[in-house]
Amino acid sequence: MKLFLRTLALLCLLCAFAGCGRKEAAAPGAATPIRIGEFSSLTGREAGLGQYTHMGVLLALEELDAAGGLLGRPVEVIAEDTQSKAGESVTATRKLVSRDHVIALIGEGASGRCLEGAPIAQAGRVPLVTPSATNPKVTEIGDYIFRVCFTDPFQGTVMAKFARDSLKARRVALLVDVGASYSVGLAEFFKERFKADGGEIVAEQKFAGGDKDFRAQLTAIKAANPDAIFAPCYYGEAGLILFQARQLGITLPILGGDGYEAPELIEVAGAAAEGAYFPVHFSLESTDTRSRDFVQKFTARFQKPPTGVSALGYDALMLVADAIRRAGTTDGAAIRDALAATHEFSGVTGRITIDSARNAHKPASIIRVRDGRFQFVETVAP
């Protein structure tokens, strides 16, 4: 009984602790703040993605507040963690929509989890802008779902075009993470375009997210004698793939998707990362003044350079802010209409125009890893 009471006391303490946090979050301001919800993978397997996005959103929020907020009201971002776990996004978005009454949502850079949360935003008539969910199905969910990044078909097509035209590759091997919708989607669109251009897919190897050893697949690929390897996946696996490929003596160019873009790629693969190519939404070497400005501010604020998703997170919040300003109200339908009418919005990732399918139209930059850093190669326009 004593033990039970002790446990109970401990639980009460924890609950009280949790209660404190709640009050802190809802600090009363002069005017009621405009609440924008963010749900991203702040912990778990894709924490790098979520945290870099979140930093971009934070920077945008600080700039908005410094400029006096929106419509004369301060702006508040309520961030929820999805733990990189299936099933969590639903609860997180339901909380943001029904409990916090957010007027817009920014969220989940990973397509799988965005597909989970988006129907709730759609049903609640809350406009949602995803920073980096590239799967085409996401915006097909409904007319309240937007994105500021390019899509998987675009990425796959661009890389196929790049492999064929710039790398002069005729035979390509695929290495696909069958556990990630992102990887499967990219591979599909790459294959379609590459074959249409007269290329040949000589091998198609599979792995599951979280795998650490790719030597078996890479050996099979080596045996097929391709000109290049297309291995769309996130940076964690990509680093290991690059490292093990070079160990096996494979010196071919290895192509990926925007998931490659993280400093961890070079940390994991080291010198083996040389000769990796991938498309990015945003290049640190961009000469555009807005982009340069963003890189400077971000580095000053967080003591590290931004990644593509940081820039997309920043653009996502700025795009929403722009729509709220143009709508002149916090009404969901009005903001949706304003978002849909976005034309040549000058973001840090380029000029964004929202098309009729609610996707962003903008160019992609191809990056090559050289001398341990991400080097800009060329721009491919849609």
- In the chain, the N- to C-terminal Cα span, in Å, equals 69
Shortest distance (Å) from residue 354 CB to other proteins: 22
CB 155 within 8 A of CB 257: yes
Asked whether 128 and 102 are in contact (CB, 8 A), the reply is no
Strand partners, 177: 207
Q: Which stretch binds other proteins (CB under 8 A): 133-141, 288-296, 316-324, 363-371?
A: 133-141
| d(C-alpha 216, C-alpha 375), whole Å | 30
Least distance in angstroms from the C-beta of 278 to other proteins: 20
Note whether 25 binds other proteins by CB under 8 A. yes
Residue 196 within binding range of other proteins, rule CB under 8 A: no
Q: Does 9 bind other proteins (CB under 8 A)?
A: no
Closest CB to other proteins among residues 101, 370: 101
> Which backbone phi and psi does 170 adopt, to 5 degrees?
-110, -30
The 75-104 site mask, x for binding other proteins (CB under 8 A), equals: ----xxx-x-xxx--xx--xx-xxx-----
Q: Which is nearer to other proteins, 111 or 349 (CB)?
A: 111
Q: Work out whether 119 is an interface residue with other proteins (CB under 8 A).
A: yes
Instruction: Give whichever of 79 and 148 is closer to other proteins, judged by the CB atom.
Output: 79
The stretch near other proteins (CB under 8 A) out of 3-11, 143-151, 217-225, 266-274 is: 3-11
Q: Crossing angle for the helix pair 111-123 and 181-196, nearest 10 degrees?
A: 110
The residue among 50 and 308 lying less far from other proteins, judged by its C-beta, is: 50
**142 makes contact with other proteins (CB under 8 A):** no
- Minimum Å gap between C-beta 295 and other proteins is 25
233 binding other proteins? (CB under 8 A):
no
Question: Beta partners for 204?
Answer: 174
Q: Which positions from 297 through 326 interact with other proteins, judged by CB under 8 A?
A: none
Which residue from 12, 19, 29, 328 is in contact with other proteins, where contact means CB under 8 A? 19
Q: Residue 208 interacts with other proteins (CB under 8 A)?
A: yes
Nearest distance from residue 120's CB to other proteins, in Å? 8
Decide whether 168 or 212 has the Cβ nearer to other proteins.
212
Tell me whether residue 100 or residue 288 sits nearer to other proteins (CB atom).
100
- The binding site for other proteins (CB under 8 A) comprises 1, 3-4, 6-7, 10, 14-15, 18-19, 21-22, 24-25, 42-43, 79-81, 83, 85-87, 90-91, 94-95, 97-99, 111-112, 115-116, 119, 124, 135, 137, 141, 177-181, 183-185, 208-209
